[in-house]
Structure 1
Amino acid sequence: MTTTVKVRVPATTANMGPGFDCLGMSLDIWNTIVVERDSSVSGGEVVSISGEGRDSLPTDAGNLVYQSFKRIYDGLGIPALAVRLTCENEIPLGRGLGSSAAAVAGGLLAGSELSGAKLSSKRILELAAEIEGHPDNSAAAILGGCRIVVSDGDGYLTEPVNVPDELKTILFVPDVPMATDEARGVLPPTISRQDAVFNIGRTALLVNALASGNLNHLETATEDMLHQPARQKLFFPMKNIFRAAMSAGALGVFLSGAGSSVLALARDREYTIGYEMADAAMKSGVDGAIKVTKPTLLGAHVVED
C-alpha cells in the first residue's frame, strides 16, 4: 500500500493576450508537494511550506492543497487519510502565474494516487475547474504545454497547441500582487462587436503563429481589447513595460493571467529584454524580479523516487 506520494506541478500563464479564459500555457517553474500518511496527525498543522507563501499560506486543514487532496476522498465517500503535506513552492502568489491552479492540481493528483482512485486527467481537470474556476490555468497545469480549453456544456474540451522549442519566456514579477477577484471586478460587463472581432482574430492568429512557428506574427497576435485595457487601471506601469519589452527585441508581450506579472516571448536577447522590463517598471515606481524561463510540455506528474 502506497504511503507517500510526491508530485510536481508547473506554473501557468493564462489568456496570453487575446485568448481570454480559453488559452493557457505551462511554464518551467515548479511547486513540489509530498504527501505522507501520518497517523499522528489529528488536526492543527498538517502542512509544512517552504519558498513562496511560507509566511502567508495556511498550514492547517484550510490549505488549498489539502482541501483539494481531501476532495478526492469526499468524492469517493470515504474518510480522508491522516496525512502530512510538505510543499516546496517556486510559483509566486497573486502574480498571475497559476499558483492556485497548481495547488489544486497538485492536491487532486496526490489524492488520486494515494487513494488508489487513479482518476483520468479529464476527470482531474473537471474537478480542478470546479474548485479553481479557471479552466485555462487548470488545463495547462494538469496536462502541460500550451492548451486551448472550452466548455462544451457537459465538461471541457481541450486541445494542445505546439510551441516552438526556440521560444523563451521572460517574466517581470512585480513585488505587488494583484487579487484575481479585483482584476475581474474591473472588467466591463459587455463588450463591443468591434472588440470581440479584434480578439477573435488575434486568438486565431496566436494559435497559428505558435503552431506554425511563424513567430513574427506574435506582436499583433498577443494584442488584446477585452481585459488588459481595464486592468491597466490596477497596474498602471503595464504599457510602459510592454513598450520596453518590444523595444528590446521581444516578439510579443502580455499580462500573465489577471496580473500582476508581465510575460514577454522571445527567441533570444532574453536577459536584455528582462532588464529593460524591470527598468521600465522601476521608472514607474514598481520594483520586482525577472525570471527567464520557457514553456514546458510537462504538466502535473508523480515523481518516482
Structure 2
Amino acid sequence: MAPEAGLAPAQGLAGRSVHVKVPATSANLGPGFDTLGLALARYDELDISVIDSGLEIEVHGVGEGEVPLDESHLVVRAIAHTFARYGLALPPLRLVAHNSIPHGRGLGSSGAAIVAGVMAAKGLLEPEIEISPDELLDLATELEGHPDNVAPALFGGLTIAWTTPEGPRHKKLMVHRGVSPLVFVPEHEMSTALARSLQPESVPHEDAVFNVSRSALLVAALIQSPELLLAATEDKLHQHYRAEAMPETDRIIRALRAAGHPAVVSGAGPSILVLASDPSERADAVRVATEAADTEWQALPLAVDFLGATVVSAER
C-alpha cells in the first residue's frame, strides 16, 4: 500500500494491534433533531492490526458479504482520515469486524463505523500522538456530516451536540436509571439521504417553538423525571414529514403513543425507539406494536450504554 501524495509513511507501528468496541445509537429522540443522541448497549467490535503489507478485511455478523472489503470500507476510510489529519499515510492493516448493529435501520451503524475507525487510529498512534476528545468528535463529524450519532457513540449516555466556528461540541449527561429503551427493528432499510430529502427547508414558527419546549423537557425527563417522557417526545419538526416514506413505522408509533408509550422514530428510521419509564412497560409495548404491525419486527430491550466507544491495545 503506497503512501498517498503529501503524506508520510507511518513509522514504528508494525505489530501494533487494538480492540475497539462501539455502541449503537439513536439520534433525535423525537424533538431533538440533529442535536440529541442516546448510546445503546448493542455493539460492533473490531480487531485492527498493523501488518507487513496490504489490506485484509473480514466481516462477521451484520454486513457480512455485503460491505466492501477494500479501502472504501467505512472503518478503513475513518482510520485513513485520522492518520491524514496528522500527516500520515494509512499503514498496511488487518481488520476483523464482528458487527451486531443493524445497517440502514436508524441505529447509527455508519456513525459506529466512523467512530470505530477514529478510535482505532487513536489506539494505534498512541503514545506518540495523543488525540483529545474534541479532536475525536471533530474527526468523526467531518466524515458523518453531523455530530448527533457520533457524539453518543464516542462518549456514551445521553449527549447534546452542537456546532461552533471552532468545530462540533458535546455535553454528556447520565440517564435516569428508570429509563428503559426498547427498539423495534424491521426487516427493511431506510436511506438516511431519502429521509433528509423529505424535510422542508423551513417550518412554521409555532412548530419551531413547540420543538424547543419539548427538547428542553426531554432532557429533564431523561435525566430526572421519566414520567414526563410521553409529553417530552412529541415532535413537529421532522417525523410527520417522513411518515409517507415509512407508513408502517408511523402507524406503529401512533398505536404505541395512543397506548401511553413514548415512541419515536430512531434516527432516520425505520426502527422505532420506545423510551419506557420502567422496565415493566416493555411487555405491553411489544404487545401493542405486534398488533399494529403488518410485517415482522424484532423487539430489542436494550440498556443505555454509559461508557461509549473503547479502544485497548491487544497482543497479536
TM range (shorter): over 0.9
SS of the equivalent of 1:237 reads helix
Residue pairs, 1:154-173, within 5 angstroms: 154-173=166-185
User: In the aligned structure 1, how far is the partner of 2:258 from the partner of 2:27?
Assistant: 24
Distance 2:149 2:263 in 1: 18
C-alpha distance in structure 2 between counterparts of 1:34 and 1:278, whole Å: 37
Q: Once the 2 structures are TM-superposed, how far is the Cα of residue 103 of structure 1 from its aligned partner?
A: 0.3
Is the CA contact (8 Å cut-off) linking 1:245 and 1:274 kept in structure 2?
A: no
What do residues 274-296 of structure 1 show as CA deviations (whole Å, max 9, x unaligned)?
Answer: 243133122xxx32211111211
- Using structure 1 for the length normalisation, give the TM-score: 0.93
The residue number in structure 2 matching 1:7 is 20
The answer to whether residue 304 in structure 2 is matched with residue 291 in structure 1 is: no
Aligned to 2:8: none
Distance 1:94 1:189 in 2: 24
Question: After the TM superposition, which residues 122-133 of structure 1 pair with which residues of structure 2 at under 5 Å, given as runs?
Answer: 122-133=134-145
1:69-101 Cα deviation digits (max 9, x unpaired): 111221222222111101110100001100000
Classify 1:221/1:249 alpha carbon distance in 2 versus 1 (closer, same or farther; 3 Å): closer
Deviation, structure 1 residue 47: 1.4
User: Letter of the aligned partner of 1:244 in structure 2?
Assistant: A
Structure 1, 112-121 or 61-70: larger mean CA deviation: 112-121
Shift of 1:244: 3.3
Contact 1:11 1:28 in 2 (8 A): yes
Structure 2 residue matching 1:232: 3-state secondary structure: helix
- Partner residue of 2:37? 24
How far apart are 1:247 and its partner, in Å?
Answer: 5.2
User: Would you say the 8 A contact 2:141–2:168 is kept in 1?
Assistant: no
Alignment-mate amino acid for residue 115 of structure 1: L
Cα deviation per residue 1:15-69 (whole Å; 9 max; x = unaligned)?
0000000100100000001101221x425xx211011111211111110001101
Contact 2:31-2:237 within 8 A present in 1 as well: yes
> Which residue, out of 115, 133, 142, partners 1:121?
133
- Counterpart position of 1:300: 309
- The match for 1:55 among 65, 89, 95 is 65
For residues 109 and 60 of structure 2, the distance between their equivalents in structure 1, rounded to whole angstroms, comes to 14
- Residues 172 and 278, structure 1, Cα contact 8 Å, conserved in 2: no
Unaligned runs of 5+ in 2: 1-12
2:78 maps to a residue whose letter is S
Structure 1 unaligned residues grouped into runs of 5+: none
Query: Which of 57, 65, 78 is residue 68 of structure 1 equivalent to?
Result: 78
| 1:136 match: secondary structure | coil
Could you say what secondary structure the match of 1:25 adopts?
A: strand
Q: Note the alpha carbon deviations across 1:199-245, whole angstroms, 9 max, x for none.
A: 00000010111222x11211111011111001101110233212333
Match of 2:102, as an amino acid? P
1:77 match: 87
Instruction: Choose the corresponding residue for 1:222, options 216, 229, 233.
Output: 233
Summarize deviations over 1:128-170 as a string: whole Å, max 9, x none.
0010112010110001110001112211221122311121111
Contact kept? 1:171, 1:274, Cα under 8 Å: no
Partners of 2:288 and 2:60 lie apart in 1 by 30
In the TM superposition, residue 269 of structure 1 has moved relative to its aligned partner by 2.9
Cα-Cα RMSD: 1.5
What amino acid sits opposite 2:240 in the alignment? P
8 Å CA contact retained: 2:137, 2:169: no
- The Cα offsets for residues 178-205 of structure 1, whole Å up to 9 and x where unpaired, read as 0000000011111010100110000001
Between the aligned partners of 1:225 and 1:176, the Cα distance in structure 2 is: 25
- C-alpha displacement at 1:249, in angstroms? 5.4
Q: Which amino acid aligns with 2:284?
A: T
1:93 matched residue in structure 2: 103
Q: Partners of 1:150 and 1:277 in 2: how far apart?
A: 33
Q: Which consecutive aligned stretches of 4+ in structure 1 deviate over 6 angstroms post-superposition? A: none
What is the Cα deviation at residue 248 of structure 1?
5.3
Which deviates further from its counterpart, 13-22 or 153-162? Answer: 153-162
Tell me if the contact between 2:214 and 2:234 (Cα under 8 Å) persists in the aligned partners.
yes
| TM-score after normalising by structure 2 | 0.90
Residue 146 of structure 2: aligned partner: 134
- Give aligned pairs, total: 297
Code of the aligned partner of 1:22: T
Note the C-alpha offset of 1:113.
Answer: 1.2
Any idea what SS the aligned residue of 1:53 has? coil
CA contact (8 A) 2:186 2:297 kept: yes
